[in-house]
């Protein structure tokens, strides 16, 4: 991976201690210069320090993707620092309300759509001209919730299904300008949040977290759960020239939990 993104500028939204961090670090290891965006600037500083330790250049920009002026500032700061953009990774995410659709709070559903769908559209529209100049790529971070309709994930699936439709339509719109738009859909992500949740479930049942892990992994073809770096590697691939003939595609990264 050491040269997959060599001399490319990659913008990542929604950077925090989880998947956003892994995307940033794997992109840096692949040779990219980074722009990290999130509302919580302290988290940006932590990840930026790790990126610098890998020898990559990095710019942090406090950003609320739901505000036009803030989102535009991200673009302006990126171009002022680097003069170009090669890839935009729309990783910012807000958890939609979990519950039955017949009783869900509409305002909370709208709030989820604002970040998960319209925020991604806002950034992509702003960065489209710069990406056209470099023949760049957009990567949407989706979810394997696309592949099932289990309760209580109805609002979550609605938002992520809309994000997939957005990516596909943008692929058609921006393709003639040489810009590719793809999606990466993780399943379970074996990181701190999930580890804590499995420990909680295990405690309720009087078993260890490993038991919960093994039961969950039994539904995966590979009998294990994806770790953040594995998902980030798929993002790096979609942002790189190795995927130069791929657009409008959704790449599932779930260790074989679902086939698509």
Residues with a catalytic annotation lie at 156
- Give the distance from CA 224 to its chain's centroid: 21
**Strand 250-253 to 180-186 pairing:** parallel
- DSSP calls for 137-177: EEEEE--GGGG---TT-HHHHHHHHHHHHHHHHHHHHHGGG
Question: CB–CB of 251/234 below 8 Å?
Answer: yes
What would the two tokens of residue 249 be? Answer: 């595609």
Question: CB–CB of 163/183 below 8 Å?
Answer: yes
Q: Which residues contact 178 (CB under 8 A, 6 or more apart)?
A: 132, 135
């Amino acid at each position: 991976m050491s040269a997959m993104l060599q001399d490319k500028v990659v913008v990542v939204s929604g950077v925090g201690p989880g998947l956003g961090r892994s995307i940033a670090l794997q992109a840096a290891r692949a040779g990219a210069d980074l722009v990290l965006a999130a509302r919580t600037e302290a988290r940006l500083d932590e990840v930026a320090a790790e990126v610098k330790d890998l020898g990559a250049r990095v710019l942090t920009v406090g950003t609320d993707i739901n505000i036009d002026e803030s989102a535009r500032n991200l673009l302006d700061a990126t171009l002022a620092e680097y003069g170009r953009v090669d890839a935009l990774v729309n990783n910012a995410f807000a958890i939609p309300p979990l519950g039955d659709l017949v009783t869900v709070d509409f305002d909370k559903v709208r709030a989820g759509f604002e970040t998960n769908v319209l925020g991604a559209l806002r950034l992509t529209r702003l960065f489209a001209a710069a990406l056209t100049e470099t023949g760049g790529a957009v990567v949407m971070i989706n979810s394997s919730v696309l592949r099932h309709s289990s309760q209580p994930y109805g609002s979550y699936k609605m938002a992520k299904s809309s994000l997939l439709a957005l990516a596909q339509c943008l692929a058609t719109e921006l393709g003639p300008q040489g810009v590719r738009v793809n999606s990466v859909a993780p399943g379970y992500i074996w990181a701190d949040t999930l580890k804590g949740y499995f420990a909680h479930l295990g405690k309720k049942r009087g078993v260890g977290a490993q038991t919960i892990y093994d039961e969950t992994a039994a539904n995966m073809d590979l009998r294990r759960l994806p770790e953040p770096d594995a998902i980030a590697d798929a993002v790096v691939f979609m942002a790189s020239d190795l995927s130069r003939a791929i657009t409008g595609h959704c790449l599932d990264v779930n260790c074989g939990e679902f086939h698509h």
